[in-house]
Amino acid sequence: MVEVENLTKSFPAARGRPVPVLRGISLQVPPGQFLAVVGPSGSGKSTLLYCMSALEVATSGRVRILGRDTGGLGRGAIAKLRRDHLGFVFQSYNLIPSLTARENVALPARLARRRISGADVDRALAEVGLAERASYRPSALSGGQQQRVAIARVLAVRPDVVFADEPTGALDTESGAQVLDLLAGVARSGQDRSVVMVTHDLEAAARADRVLVLRDGVIHRELISPRADDVFAAVAGAS
């Protein structure tokens, strides 16, 4: 679904040489996988996610999304690829305060001038357990509920890959667990959808099928279906 080859990313420094953040990352996200990338704050997780999803241009290396080399695509083609095939969930829910949950869920499709039926919207809200709150505005919803609306908004457009940046960052443990269940469910729906989540929350990462530990701009460890303890140990550099 997503293939990253020898990706590097540097940011210009105030003075002197550019600062390398990603220093040669290669990874593949197969269909149906829930992949987590962990690392301490500032380790480059968001930068990796943005480069992987073509929100940001890499300094060097290749990013292929659904078989398409994003380096060879123009801005318009990338925007279309993102709109038609990718979904994004961020720590902040980015809901429009004046719109109801239902209207928020329908908004991306409307903006893209794509037809979205009321049934599609209601199904997405039901999938996240918020059918009853479809006519609530964000201010009448808890943080966890707002994040679930944000996930419904993603599900409504049936993306092939969902990218999540610290999706549980602002949530309590229980709401966070619900959000993680939903993300895991997206990958396990049997529809070849993949989820890529970056997080500093090691417990959250342990919910994924595969965990990559980012350190000093490279992938330091890879864990398959780890327990939380395994993730803690890998991040601490033990074992």
Ligand X SMILES: Nc1ncnc2c1ncn2[C@@H]1O[C@H](COP(=O)(O)OP(=O)(O)O)[C@@H](O)[C@H]1O
List contacts with ligand X (CB under 6 A): 11, 21, 39, 41-47
How many other β-carbons are positioned within 10 Å of the β-carbon of residue 169?
15
Greatest distance between any 2 Cα atoms in the chain: 56
* 53 touches Mg ion (CB under 5 A): no
Q: Which does 41 bind (CB under 5 to 8 A by kind): Mg ion, ligand X, none?
A: ligand X
Nearer to ligand X, 46 or 168 (CB): 46
- Cα–Cα distance for residue pair 31/1, rounded to 1 Å: 6
User: What residues contact residue 202 under an 8 Å CB cut-off, 6+ apart?
Assistant: 38, 228, 231, 232, 235
Phi and psi for 209 in degrees, rounded to 5? -75, -30
Residue 220 is inside which H or E element, if any? strand 218-224
- Cα–Cα distance for residue pair 53/153, rounded to 1 Å: 18
CB of 232 to Mg ion, least distance (A): 20
CB of 159 to Mg ion, least distance (A): 21
Burial of 10 (0-12, 13-18, 19+ CB in 10 A): middle
What letters, b where the CB count within 10 A reaches 16 and e where it falls short, cover 86-101? bbbbbbebebeeeebb
CB of 91 to Mg ion, least distance (A): 8
Q: Which does 43 bind (CB under 5 to 8 A by kind): ligand X, Mg ion, none?
A: ligand X
**Which parts of 188-217 interact with Mg ion (CB under 5 A)?**
none
Nearer to ligand X, 49 or 182 (CB): 49
* 46 touches Mg ion (CB under 5 A): yes
Q: Which does 133 bind (CB under 5 to 8 A by kind): Mg ion, ligand X, none?
A: none
CB of 96 to ligand X, least distance (A): 25
| Total residues interacting with Mg ion, rule: CB under 5 A | 2
Nearer to ligand X, 138 or 176 (CB): 176
Which stretches of the chain bind Mg ion, using CB under 5 A?
A: 45-46
